[in-house]
Copies of this chain bind each other. A is one copy, B any other.
Amino acid sequence: MNAKKTVERQTGVALWRQIADLIRLSISNGDHDQTGMVPPETVLAAQFGVNRHTVRSALAALADEGLVQAIQGRGTMIQRQERLSFPISRRTRFSQGLGDQARDIEAKLLAHETLPAVGEIATGLQIAPGTACVQLDLVSSADGRPLSCSTSYFPMERFGQMAEQFERLGSITKAFAAQGLADYVRVSTELVARHADADELALLRLSPGAIVIAATAINADPDGVPVQFSRTRFAADRVKLKLET
């Protein structure tokens, strides 16, 4: 928890953005929970060794995100502080895991399509390249804030109604059940962290330069036959992944 507060110049990342990222981090670390306020601009400027105007740019960006609110004469108050804990285990299910951490959790279907499986997707689903599969693009939100976006592939033959059932039931688990699959397990998950691309910035409503955790996962039925290949991108500053063993 002793993240050193230093910024570096001439790195292609503007000082105000580095500072905004550090302040966002310290807020989510709970460093200012006692006061509920960010330190004064002059103090921050001294801490980071920059001009007060530069700190103001950083705070303006955070205010733009709705994370803080400045009040003249008083200071800069913290508006919101959250990082949902998202469990990943052999029995990972999206909505269930988040449980009571948020009041309103929803998954929205953005698009769906039928297409031939190629490359990694065919390999992951253990089907011949060219076999038809259904692609679903989803965005998941908690209390109105986007948490993750995902692209999933299902074998067409078994789960041709995936899009329709999801639209009707609002959950992958339920859509599987409606098509005769009562249970499934996570067999593989790979995680990579990187900067969000333009698509993800828009879908997850992130500020540019933000980080996503990309999870490539395979789910299989109880017999071990793959039923779903998915790539999920989490907004890194909104989630904490909890691995269960």
Contact = CB atoms under 8 A, between A and B. Distances in A.
B201 A8 contact: yes
A164 interface: no
A4 to B, nearest CB: 5
A13 B17 contact: yes
A191 B194 contact: no
A211 B208 contact: no
A88 interface: yes
Contact of A20 (B12, B188, B194, B209): B12
A89 B245 contact: yes
A177 interface: no
Contact of A211 (B11, B22, B191, B211): B211
Interface string A1-34: 1011111100111101110111001000000000
A190 B236 contact: no
A142 interface: no
Instruction: Describe A's contact surface by its main secondary structure.
Output: mixed
A187 B245 contact: yes
A187 B194 CA distance: 27
A186 B187 CA distance: 18
B191 A241 contact: yes
A4 B199 contact: yes
A90 B12 contact: no
Interface in A180-229: 185-195, 197-199, 201, 207-209, 211-213
A243 B191 contact: yes
Contact of A237 (B22, B194, B209): B194
Contacts of A187: 245
Contacts of A191: 191, 213, 240-243
A120 interface: yes
A25 B157 CA distance: 34
A50 interface: no
Contact of A190 (B16, B25, B193, B242): B242
Nearest to A121: B1
Nearest to A234: B193
Contact of A12 (B4, B8, B14, B190): B14
Instruction: Tell which of A8, A12, A22 has the most Cβ of chain B within 10 Å.
Output: A12
Interface of A: 1, 3-8, 11-14, 16-18, 20-22, 25, 61, 83, 85, 88-90, 119-120, 185-195, 197-199, 201, 207-209, 211-213, 236-237, 240-245
